[in-house]
Amino acid sequence: MPEGPEIRIAADEVQSVLVRRPTTSVFFAFAHLKKYQKKFKGSRVRRIETRGKAMLTRFDNDLVIYSHNQLYGKWMTSTSGVRPETSRQLRLAIHNSKAAAFLYSASDIEVLKAADVDSHPFLARLGPDLLSQTPTVPALIKRMREKKFRNRQLSGLLLDQEFVAGLGNYLRAEILYFSAIHPTRRPADLDDAEIKRLSGNIIKLTLRSYKTRGVINPPTLVKRLKTQGLTTRAQNRFSVFQREGEPCYRCSDTITRMDSGGRHIFLCPQCQQ
């Protein structure tokens, strides 16, 4: 499943072709949404927000299209009159005179009134979005110390969208590695320096992934790895995620994998004691 940075990148692309241009037509694949198609004609997309792994396409007619990519959803854009070549099922299309945006394979799509967005059942329980709402380090520290979060293992907490919205499996592993914290520890176990470092890395690494389109390693490490012949993104993108059995870039210990909540998490046993 795409994580917050990938959803924000997709939102940027869709926004770049739709914003401020009059909409000529909107297509919904689902019968219960077709009644809204005519309501969007002539309206303009004001902006596209992300809330974790959901997107909100806000129009100037006070309507909002809510969509969640889930596992297989994918946005594509094209110039007007050109349909992307794909075998995926089209679920939503937004057209203007210059371009169009298409959402394929997703099934979680709704039309909301702007005033109802914050009370939407999924959106209402989300924590702060790391790319649209830009929470601060002190705010995350305070959140980690809340009663409902402080005694939970970080392996599970960092995937809980109620804690913060947008984190997924690769970000969880990399954030804990760069924070030198074992996945089974809890916020309640961390000293002030550790909890500050963890909060900072939640923000920093999510933003880095967004800016680099998925490269978590810092530029200095990427450069060093390239000089060693590790030139592809697959080789230099991560420090621990999906690197089981390979040496840690810091201490040369072997990266291992553990199961947590039915999903794999990768770590360095030496750096993350």
Give the CATH number for residue 87: 3.20.190.10
Domain range holding 96? 4-125
2 is catalytic: yes
The answer on 91 and 9 residing in a single domain is: yes
Q: Given phi > 0 = left and psi -120 to 50 = alpha, else beta, which region is 210?
A: alpha
The answer on 230 and 116 residing in a single domain is: no
251 has a pLDDT exceeding 90: yes
Maximum distance among all Cα pairs of the chain, rounded to whole angstroms: 61
Summary mean pLDDT of the chain = 95
Segment 24-47, tens digit of pLDDT = 999 999 999 999 999 999 999 999
The answer on 164 and 186 residing in a single domain is: yes
Given 8, 53, 58, 143, the catalytic residue: 53
Confidence band for 1, pLDDT divided at 50, 70 and 90 = low
The answer on 119 and 21 residing in a single domain is: yes
* Closest residue by Cα to residue 161 from 54, 270, 44: 54
Report if residue 43 sits inside a domain. yes
Give the CATH number for residue 224: 1.10.8.50
138 is catalytic: no
Segment 131-189, tens digit of pLDDT = 988 899 999 999 999 999 999 999 999 999 999 999 999 999 999 999 999 999 999 99
Which of 93, 125, 157 marks a domain boundary? 125
3 is catalytic: yes
* Cα distance between residue 110 and residue 56, in whole Å: 10
Given 35, 142, 211, 263, the catalytic residue: 263
Report if residue 147 sits inside a domain. yes
53 is catalytic: yes
Segment 56-65, tens digit of pLDDT = 999 999 999 9
* Cα distance between residue 103 and residue 94, in whole Å: 9
- Give the global pTM: 0.92
